[in-house]
Structure 1
């Protein structure tokens, strides 16, 4: 079996839309072009954001479009004990600590970082007297995390100056995405992560956690985000259209074009089998535009 293991990890907040299809297609073709495994993970940690039936709908659409995953689908909602174990490991080494700050308190004293507000460290050495700590954060240090993204190039972030101590478990009791994704990537032996560039700025936090937990760091490649004419990422919030399951060839053809693969026009008139054969054989990660966001024609 090839050592390459890739994955697609959607959040079941709604049906599959074009932006999600682009990420799924890129991760799938990169895995198959390396004769590797491709896994599917449902990032259903936040039940408040989850749409009933969305997970099944996403899987049905992937199946209809000809995607084939190599292991049983993993659901984050069923893995709380593993996140708790990782969190305990970080707490035992003095890295994770309780935080009692409200959002307003943080916004009143924090500065803007590369991906949100930088926590000012109020509770680093203990919560203020009389305040109940509910969230859990991890201490970061003044170090640069660097990695070479296969599409976006060299990325470097200073954890203290640009990120700050970030949340591992939220005040509402939900485990944070950054912790869960690191634990699951290690558990599934993921070697390569191909996903949307909206997660590019999260990668340094994930590498930081990998190092602290003793996990290997996968290879990363972040494809451009599909956006609407207003420059907004396609999502449920921006009213992105659901994928039409009746025309999978057309949708996949457009996704290939978006990813810079230049499929021949006659491919639109073929069937799914021939389209997949062409796509896997001609797949070239180098052709993907080195951009974080692109307007979609969908």
Structure 2
């Protein structure tokens, strides 16, 4: 098996020399679960640059880890981006993040020519959280307690978070009956409609439906929905960037996070950050080390390698 040698800095330079980076993602990750709290989180930088399209106009999924730094803050991200130099930052055209102002401020300060995109999953999650909060509040207001197994809104909690296009006729009928029984003022129903409209807006070819939805939510009398509207409005430009960046999102970053977590689990955790950094740079670089395939062993034949 080919071994990965060298310092993290040498590995990083090797990665940076392979190709120019035109799109990247920033995200946090837990690298250890003990020690000082401020040192448990890392900021990861992932290359999202898409390979050239094939004859059918499609590209293969691709992502690679560029580097990680201890800490989860805008200052950590800004320092790393600034340290790469103008030649690196001037080529970045797209930066995908979750709705965290620290990373947004770092990108605004260092990647002035890049389009910032808030990830579709995190935007949808904000709407689902608002829906769940309304359900819990209405449940408390109408019953005077938290939900029990036989309460209508508690029974509807999973159906409420299912996309309308995935509801069968039986499921839709059940959901309607539960809402009629447990939602007397239609607050849960209205919030569910908002959630479904948000999901549907992301399926459209342009951002018209999303613009209309964001502009309307701030005037909703349901406090949780109005708060959602204010949050979406504050990120409106970054949300709408999804459509003019060829539907960019943080999917590649999450894929790299899975590789990082798998590497950490195989190693049974790390105590030394430099070793951790070098290991995950090797594992999530977009390359795979060559392994000599094992020779087949016939049934009943002794394995002399044992």
Q: TM-score, normalised by structure 1?
A: 0.32
Which has the larger share of helix?
2
Q: TM-score, normalised by structure 2?
A: 0.31
